Amino acid sequence: MAKTLFQKIIDRELPATIVFEDEHCLAFRDINPGAPVHILVIPRKPIPRLCDATVEDQALLGHLMLTANKIAEAEGFGGAFRVVVNNGAEAGQSVFHLHLHILAGRPLKWPPG
């Protein structure tokens, strides 16, 4: 199976502006931002889609959410940000390595899509 773009970033085969990393995940600025702040949080464990996560991934999924909160706070938007997960191509997922989008820095409308 070929490595995803995100796995190549984790492996440092591709450059990225990394804003956070620990033993479970890595976060970097999106190269095609949808908001003034647009950061992707990805698990080091390759999970293609959210629906592919298992009960064993429960702690990791919680860690990703808490990390998103920590990053938004560090970026100065702890009280006003959005976290988005696209699940599958029909939902807008283009890289099949689970990732959370942190969006902030402008008013965000609802519904989003």
24, 38, 63, 99: the catalytic one is 99
* Strands, sheet with 37-43, edge to edge from the N-terminal-most edge strand: 18-21, 25-29, 37-43, 100-104, 82-84
Q: What is the DSSP string of 45-70?
A: S--SSGGG--GGGHHHHHHHHHHHHH
The rounded Cα 24 to chain-centroid distance in angstroms is 13
Question: Residue 29, Cα to own-chain centre: how many angstroms?
Answer: 9
Q: Is 99 a catalytic residue?
A: yes
Please, which residues have CB within 8 angstroms of residue 36's CB and are 6 or more apart in sequence? Answer: 104, 105, 106
Catalytic residues: 99
